Structure 1
Amino acid sequence: MKNLKYIYLVIFLAFAGCDNDEFLDREPTDLLGEDQVWANEDLVFSVLADLYNRLPDYQGLENWWEYANFDEAFASNAGDYWRHQNQDYGYGDWGMWNYGYIRDVNLFIEKCEEATEISADARSRFLAEAKFIRAMVYFEHVKRMGGVPLILESMEYDYSGDPTYLQYPRAKEHEIYDYVIAEMEEVKDDLPNGGTKSRATKGAALALVSRAALYAGSIANYGQLTPEVSLPGGEVGIPAEMANAYYTTALRASEEVMALGTYGLFDQEPDKSENYTNIFLNKNSNNEVILAKDFLVQGRTHGFTIENIPRSLREENTSGGKMNPSLNLVQSYELLDNTFAKLPTKDASGNPIFYDDPMDIFEGRDPRLLGTVIVPGATFRGQEVDIWAGYKLADGSVVTSGQLGGQAQLPGSNSSVQVVGFDGPIDQMEWTAQNGFYLRKYVDTSVGSGQRGTGSAVWLVRFRYAEILLNAAEAAFELGDMEKAAEYMNQVRRRAGFPIDLTPAEIDFDRIVHERKIELAFENHVLWDKKRWRLAHRVWNGESVSLTNNPGDALAVSTRVFGLKPFKYYEPGSPNDGKWMFEEFLPAPVFNAHRFRLGNYYSFIGDNVRNNNPKIVRNPNQ
Structure 2
Amino acid sequence: MKKIFYTQVIFMLLLSWGCNDDDFLNRPPTNILTEEQVWGDEGQVLSVLADLYNRYVDLSNFRDFPRPGLSTLAGWTRMADFNEAFWSEAGRYGDFQNSGWDYNTWSIWDYGYIREMNLFIRKCTEAEKLSPAVKERYLAEARFLRASYYFELVKRMGGVPLILEPMTYDFNGDPTYLQHARAKESEIYDFVIREAEEIKSKLPVNASEKSRATQAAALAMQARAALYAASIAKYGVNTPQVALPGGEVGIPANLATGYYTKALSAAKEIISGSAGVYALYNKKPDLSENFASIFYDKANNSEVIFAEDYKLQSGKVHYFTGWNQPRYGAEEEEGGRINPSLNFVEAFEKLDNTFAPIPVANAAGTPLYYTNQIDIFAGRDARLGGTVMLPGTTFKGRAVDIWAGFQLANGTIVSGDDRGAQKTLPGKTVPEQVVGFDGPIDGFEFTAQTGFYLRKYLDPVVGSGQRGVNSEVWFIRYRYAEVLLNAAEAAFELGQPAVAAGYMNQVRERAGLITPLKAADVNFDRIAHERRVELAFEGHYHYDIQRWRIAHLVMDGNAISAADLSKDLGKATKRNTQPWALWSYKIYDPASPNNGKWIYKPVKLSRVTGSDRFQLGNYYSLIADDIINNNPKIVRNPNH
Fold similarity call, TM over 0.5:
yes
Task: Show the counterpart of 2:210.
Answer: 197
SS in 2 for 1:312: coil
SS in 1 for 2:192: helix
Task: Show the counterpart of 2:547.
Answer: 532
AA aligned to 1:607 is: D
Task: Show the counterpart of 1:359.
Answer: 374
Cα pair 1:177 1:216 within 8 Å, conserved: yes
Change (3 A) 1:584 1:364: same
Task: Show the counterpart of 2:325.
Answer: 309
Task: Show the counterpart of 2:632.
Answer: 614
CA distance in 2, matches of 1:19, 1:116: 36
Q: Deviations over 1:7-63 (max 9, x none)?
A: xxxxx9xx9899547565432101111110111111111110110111113462222
Change (3 A) 1:193 1:19: closer
CA distance in 2, matches of 1:429, 1:28: 57
Task: Show the counterpart of 2:247.
Answer: 234
SS in 1 for 2:565: coil
SS in 1 for 2:79: helix
Cα pair 1:143 1:528 within 8 Å, conserved: yes
2:387 matches 1:372: yes
Q: Deviations over 1:205-252 (max 9, x none)?
A: 000000000000000000010011000000000000000000000000
Q: Deviations over 1:80-111 (max 9, x none)?
A: 11221221210010011110000000000000
Cα pair 2:19 2:25 within 8 Å, conserved: no
AA aligned to 1:179 is: F
CA distance in 1, matches of 2:461, 2:633: 53
Task: Show the counterpart of 1:44.
Answer: 45
Cα pair 1:333 1:366 within 8 Å, conserved: yes
SS in 1 for 2:262: helix
Bigger Cα displacement from structure 2, 157-166 vs 58-67 = 58-67
Cα pair 1:548 1:556 within 8 Å, conserved: no
Equivalent position to 2:290, from 247, 258, 275:
275
CA RMSD of aligned residues (A): 1.5
SS in 1 for 2:305: strand
Shift of 1:64: 1.3
CA distance in 1, matches of 2:285, 2:616: 45
Q: Which runs of 5+ in 2 are unaligned?
A: 1-11, 64-74
Equivalent position to 2:281, from 260, 266, 277:
266
Change (3 A) 1:17 1:324: farther
SS in 2 for 1:599: helix
Task: Show the counterpart of 2:66.
Answer: none
Task: Show the counterpart of 1:178.
Answer: 190
Cα pair 2:179 2:631 within 8 Å, conserved: yes
CA distance in 2, matches of 1:210, 1:19: 63
Cα pair 1:67 1:73 within 8 Å, conserved: no
Q: Deviations over 1:493-530 (max 9, x none)?
A: 01111120011100000000000000000100011001
Task: Show the counterpart of 2:168.
Answer: 156
Task: Show the counterpart of 2:262.
Answer: 249
Pairing of 1:60-71 with structure 2 (within 5 A):
60-62=61-63, 63-71=75-83
Task: Show the counterpart of 1:344.
Answer: 359
2:161 matches 1:133: no
2:575 matches 1:557: yes
2:285 matches 1:284: no
Cα pair 2:348 2:384 within 8 Å, conserved: yes
SS in 1 for 2:323: helix
Task: Show the counterpart of 1:543.
Answer: 558
Task: Show the counterpart of 1:4.
Answer: none
SS in 2 for 1:150: coil
Q: Give the alignment's TM-score, normalised by structure 2.
A: 0.93
Pairing of 1:379-394 with structure 2 (within 5 A):
379-394=394-409
Shift of 1:587: 1.7
Shift of 1:399: 0.6
Bigger Cα displacement from structure 2, 73-82 vs 482-491 = 73-82
Task: Show the counterpart of 2:615.
Answer: 597
Equivalent position to 1:119, from 109, 118, 131:
131
Shift of 1:255: 0.2
Task: Show the counterpart of 2:234.
Answer: 221
Change (3 A) 1:35 1:19: closer
Q: Deviations over 1:148-202 (max 9, x none)?
A: 0000000000111111111110000000000000011001000001231000000
Change (3 A) 1:20 1:85: farther
Task: Show the counterpart of 2:483.
Answer: 468
Task: Show the counterpart of 1:447.
Answer: 462
Task: Show the counterpart of 2:219.
Answer: 206
CA distance in 2, matches of 1:388, 1:278: 26
CA distance in 2, matches of 1:575, 1:161: 87
AA aligned to 1:605 is: I
Q: Deviations over 1:331-351 (max 9, x none)?
A: 111000000001011111112
Q: Deviations over 1:527-564 (max 9, x none)?
A: 10010000111101111122432220111101001111
Q: Which runs of 5+ in 1 are unaligned?
A: 1-11
Task: Show the counterpart of 2:8.
Answer: none
Change (3 A) 1:116 1:396: same
